[in-house]
């Protein structure tokens, strides 16, 4: 009976933490929209965030981000079943269960001002622009400023200082974020 109670407790904790992580990930993405500057050609219509495949992050983005504004653009959240079905977007979010498609996404969006965000350890080595990870029990993000610059994107210094900098395989640990609001100050 005691083992069952412990298992039930761990299951309940895990069930409540997972949706909370997804919510925080969606808030990270929203703050990225405010702290990365896109070229003028990508600031003229809606700001599009595309989620690859089926993932709970899509629902969280729909609930927490869709319809909000970044600059003068209204944020739209779309879902794509495959890399080839993705149209023009400002952000491509690749959930961990779709991480095997990162290489194909990088080929399609090479040199194009689309931020590719992943959520699995090791994805920076494989070509992600930003990778949301859990480190020391907290959600944090890795960011590659040079890769963003190669796509004509500019990240705010405040964003770069809060993330874990990834530059050609060299990592610099960032300060721990106390809350998602720590990255909400636009440049």
Tokens linked to 130: 């930003």
pLDDT digits (tens, 9 = 90+) for 59-87: 999 999 988 999 999 999 999 999 999 99
Supply the pLDDT for residue 139: 92
**Residue 62: exposed, middle, or buried by beta-carbon count in 10 A (0-12, 13-18, 19+)?**
middle
45 to 39, 42, 75: CA distances (angstroms) = 12, 7, 10
> How many CB atoms neighbour CB 84 within 10 A?
8
- For residue 66, the model assigns a pLDDT of 84
CA-based nearest residue to 173, from 133, 129, 120: 133
Nearest to 177 by CA among 165, 166, 161: 161
Overall average pLDDT of the 132-146 stretch: 93
**Radius of gyration of the chain, Cα coordinates, nearest whole angstrom:** 17
Cα–Cα dist 120/32, whole Å: 18
Question: What is the pLDDT averaged over residues 162-187?
Answer: 56
3-state DSSP assignment of residue 12: helix
Query: What was the pLDDT predicted at 34?
Result: 95
Report pTM: 0.81
Statement: residue 166 has pLDDT above 80: yes
pLDDT of residue 131: 97
Domains delineated in the chain:
38-183 (3.40.50)
How far is the CA of 113 from the CAs of 37, 42, 116, 175, in angstroms?
A: 10, 8, 9, 27
Residue 158 has pLDDT above 80, yes or no: yes
Residue 52 has a pLDDT of 97
% of the chain surpassing 90 pLDDT: 70
Asked if the model's pLDDT at residue 168 lies above 70, the reply is no
Query: pLDDT tens digit string along 5-57?
Result: 333 233 333 333 445 789 999 999 999 999 999 999 998 899 999 999 999 99
Burial pattern 16-36, b for ≥16 Cβ within 10 A else e, equals eeeeebbbbbbbbbbbbbbbb
pLDDT at 167: 72
Query: How confident is the model at residue 169, as a pLDDT?
Result: 53
């Amino acid at each position: 009976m005691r083992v069952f109670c412990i298992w039930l407790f761990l299951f309940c904790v895990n069930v409540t933490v997972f949706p909370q992580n997804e919510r925080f990930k969606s808030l990270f993405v929203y703050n990225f929209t405010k702290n990365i500057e896109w070229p003028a050609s990508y600031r003229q219509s809606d700001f599009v965030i595309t989620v690859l495949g089926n993932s709970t992050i899509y629902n969280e983005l729909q609930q927490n981000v869709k319809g909000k504004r970044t600059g003068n653009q209204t944020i739209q959240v779309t879902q794509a079943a495959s890399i080839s079905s993705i149209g023009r977007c400002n952000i491509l979010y690749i959930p961990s269960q779709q991480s095997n498609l990162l290489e194909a996404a990088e080929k399609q969006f090479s040199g194009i001002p689309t931020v590719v965000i992943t959520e699995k350890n090791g994805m920076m080595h494989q070509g992600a622009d930003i990778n949301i990870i859990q480190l020391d029990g907290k959600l944090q993000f890795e960011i590659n400023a040079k890769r963003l610059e190669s796509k004509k994107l500019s990240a705010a210094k405040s964003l770069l200082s809060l993330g874990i900098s990834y530059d050609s395989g060299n990592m610099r640990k960032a300060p721990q974020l106390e809350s998602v609001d720590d990255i909400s100050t636009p440049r």
